[in-house]
Amino acid sequence: MAALALAPIASHAETATSGQVVIDGHIDPAEWAGARRITDFRDTQPRTGKPGSQPTEAWVLSTPKGLAVAIRVTQSPDIPRSRQATRRDEDALVDRINVMVDFDGDGRTGFDFEVKSTGGIADEVITNESDFSYDWDGIWEHAVSEDAEGYSVEVLIPWYVAQMRKPEGDTRTIGLYIDRVIASTGERMAWPAVSFDQGRFLSMFQKVQLPAYEQSLFAVTPYVVGKVEHGHGGAAFEQGADILWKPNGQTQLTATINPDFGQVESDDLVVNFSPEETFFTDKRPFFTENQGIFDFSLLDDYTQLVYTRRVGGESDDGHGPADISAAVKVNGSVGQTSYGILTAQEKGDAGRSFGALRLLRTVDTQSFGMLATRVNHPYEDRDANVLGFDHRWQPNEAFNITSNVVGSKIDQPQANSTGMGATSIAYWQMNDTWAQQWLGMYFGKRLDINDFGYLPRNDMAYFHYEVRQRVTGMAADSTYSSLLWRYRISELNNTEGLRISRRFRVQLNGNRRDGSNEQWRLDGFTASYDDLLTRGGNPVRNPPTAKLQYERTRPRIGRWSWEAEGYVSGNELTGFHRLGYYFKFVPTYFITDAFSVFAGASYEWDPNWLIWQHDNLVGSYDGRTVGIDSGVNWNFGSRQELRVKLQTLAVGATLRGAYEIDRNGRAVPSNEPVDGLGVANLGFQVRYRYEIAPLSNLYIVYNRGGYEQDTNDEVDSQFRHGFSLKDVNEGLVKVAYRLEF
């Protein structure tokens, strides 16, 4: 593993200003004079630490206009090259490079700038060491050129891309990571030689000193949307604007007026009868711009104290999504302390007021943080306040521990409450083969962060211990280039000591030599109780059971690529008696490198599916779910794309019997009437996008879809019915144009 000593870049400010790096994809030695040259790229996938099989070089230069990086990639003629054109932020398995930057060098927030060999790009925010989010889109320059020996990439990342602390003197220390990926083999070569599937990634970036520059920016992005809703009231117009002002490197203000709630984005279809809420990401520019400072995870999947989809979500009066009047966000730093302030106001009598304050400070090997949020609900006469403190300690390269404590206070007539929660996770990388992880969390029964945050459940005490084993010395004729085994034991009780889960897990992540990613996972459960199914009623006792899952993603080979996933499992009423299963297969056919068609299908059989009715009454169903996931992607030119997306989900659940859950958790047959259940769900979108300029786009979109639930339990009938749904049936044109001053 590369050492993390400071690696200063030659501080030739005069070279940077006079060289005038031109981002054209052609690496001119005169332009990159004075830049640091990096050649020590080593294999991290498989993570052997050996020099990469193909030569890779990079040059890094600090310029007044931004951080300039050039990468020269050599690829032998016998290794197939990617020709697939990609849209922005497409997670495609193609030849590519990544430049990842932690502008403060403290391991809290990073930015990934990805360039494909065919010129497509993606950008992501990195938080919590290795959580990547595609939601953010930034403005940065990039260019690619190709020749017989390989390809070259040049990138220029403006200093105004991120808020960053004031440098000490004339130099700034950043964290830097660069890699290249060969799609046809799955090999990843990186500098430094660290991997995102370790417990520590972001904080292990190479610390680099470089000349410090600052840039100011003032940008306004007005937008207008013209919409025609068929059968629901004709035409309508909406307009708004996003504002960004960065007077210096330490302070950034963003604001939005009547923000777009993503009329041109479409969420995947979900049918959810469980008591736990579905999590959705957020693509609205205001809520993704420099949002990383507000990351305060409770270290359990998607948990967050600030879940921005709450703003403009379902209104308190139940009349659909709330409209947002305006929102303002200020990010900055004073010395070694970073801060973030966020406030938003919804319209109308049922509109809510949101506020958040974040503070972060790093001292040597430790960092300390605080996040306070407040949501006012005038319609419900409710005030929700949440306060959290987080701490991270990294005494050495092998060990780190992250902890937080959070409290909530709800003021509402006849519903006042206070609650507490805490989480701690420790990771120890013993050597290149073995690692351990310990995780403990406690969420009180009255902890309530969901006015602004996201927590699937409270009232729980959880612990797990996990051992990881990495295998890289695979035989030359092996299907796999590397394997990562994870062995975990866990227990989950509610705060009254009721056993909710006892689990043993074995998980295998394999990197195949054809570039595919594969995962197997086996979970074994002892007898336990489900205390959420009846929404506060009696817990239901579940028998011992198990679940085997499989996923694989294969990159394009010839004209085909595909994704597959599935599982086999017992059920929550009779365990191993009557197994359920699920499978989904989505193949993609490339008519040309820029034009592809995908047509996938899924089927799920869920015997003895327990669905809550009311009080302690549940229905046991034999559930069938049929889905289609299909569409067309056409990336013509560097600025235009056409996407067609069709998703359907049809559920037919035949009633087997009604059950009353008694105080002992037994499912006792009941004569109370319970109906069959059926769902039809449709999402169809045709979207054309033309990039007028960076972050300036014209969209022409047609949306159609709907959701309908009734007592028809014939899945075939629900499937056919789904195509007639027109709850949403609209066409719209949106223009957003960014003006910089």
Model pLDDT, residue 232: 64
Cα–Cα distance for residue pair 355/344, rounded to 1 Å:
7
Which of 117, 16, 18 is closest to 74 using CA atoms? Answer: 117
Is pLDDT at 470 greater than 70 in this prediction?
yes
Is pLDDT at 175 greater than 80 in this prediction?
yes
Q: Is residue 481 part of a domain?
A: no
Last residue of a domain, one of 160, 187, 215: 215
Is pLDDT at 641 greater than 60 in this prediction?
yes
**Is 650 within 8 Å of 724 (Cβ atoms)?**
no
**Is 735 within 8 Å of 223 (Cβ atoms)?**
yes
Last residue of a domain, one of 196, 215, 234: 215
Model pLDDT, residue 370: 98
Q: What is the DSSP letter of 293?
A: G
Ranking 213-217, 355-359, 642-646 by mean pLDDT, the lowest is: 213-217
Give the H or E element holding residue 607.
strand 595-614
Q: Is residue 398 part of a domain?
A: no
Q: Is residue 426 part of a domain?
A: no
Q: Which two tokens stand for residue 142?
A: 């990039």
Is pLDDT at 551 greater than 80 in this prediction?
yes
Is pLDDT at 5 greater than 70 in this prediction?
no
Model pLDDT, residue 18: 40
Model pLDDT, residue 2: 38
Exposed (0-12), middle (13-18) or buried (19+): which is 736, by Cβ within 10 Å?
buried
Is pLDDT at 720 greater than 80 in this prediction?
yes
Note the pLDDT tens digit of each residue in 386-423. 999 999 999 998 999 999 999 999 999 999 999 999 99
- The backbone torsions φ and ψ at residue 715, rounded to the nearest 5 degrees and listed phi first, read -65, -35
Q: Which domain holds residue 643?
A: 563-741
**Is 348 within 8 Å of 320 (Cβ atoms)?**
no
Model pLDDT, residue 152: 97
Exposed (0-12), middle (13-18) or buried (19+): which is 483, by Cβ within 10 Å?
middle
Model pLDDT, residue 438: 97
Give the total number of structural domains in the chain.
2
| Cβ neighbour number for residue 229 with a 10 Å cutoff | 15
Model pLDDT, residue 19: 52
- The backbone torsions φ and ψ at residue 195, rounded to the nearest 5 degrees and listed phi first, read -130, 145
Q: Work out the percent of the chain whose per-residue pLDDT is above 70.
A: 97
CA distances from 53 to 95, 126, 240, 405 (A): 15, 28, 51, 46
Residue with more model confidence, 663 or 336? 663
Is pLDDT at 260 greater than 80 in this prediction?
no
Band (483; pLDDT cuts 50, 70, 90): very high
Model pLDDT, residue 135: 87
Q: Is residue 156 part of a domain?
A: yes
Is pLDDT at 32 greater than 80 in this prediction?
yes
Is pLDDT at 8 greater than 90 in this prediction?
no
Q: Is residue 297 part of a domain?
A: no
**Is 346 within 8 Å of 325 (Cβ atoms)?**
yes
Residues in the chain, overall count = 741
Model pLDDT, residue 176: 98
Note the pLDDT tens digit of each residue in 124-144. 999 989 999 988 999 999 999
Model pLDDT, residue 10: 38
Exposed (0-12), middle (13-18) or buried (19+): which is 647, by Cβ within 10 Å?
buried
Query: Which residue type is seen at 639?
Result: R
Average pLDDT score over the chain? 93
Q: Is residue 528 part of a domain?
A: no
Model pLDDT, residue 229: 87
Query: Which residue type is seen at 11?
Result: S
Q: What is the DSSP letter of 167?
A: P
Model pLDDT, residue 14: 33
CA distances from 133 to 137, 304, 568 (A): 10, 14, 30
CA terminus-to-terminus distance, the chain: 44
Model pLDDT, residue 263: 66
CATH number at residue 41: 2.60.40.1190
Last residue of a domain, one of 149, 180, 215: 215
Note the pLDDT tens digit of each residue in 657-687. 999 999 999 999 999 999 999 999 999 999 9
Q: Is residue 163 part of a domain?
A: yes
Q: Is residue 340 part of a domain?
A: no
Model pLDDT, residue 320: 86
The average pLDDT across 198-221 equals 93
Model pLDDT, residue 261: 62
The average pLDDT across 575-588 equals 97
Is pLDDT at 368 greater than 90 in this prediction?
yes
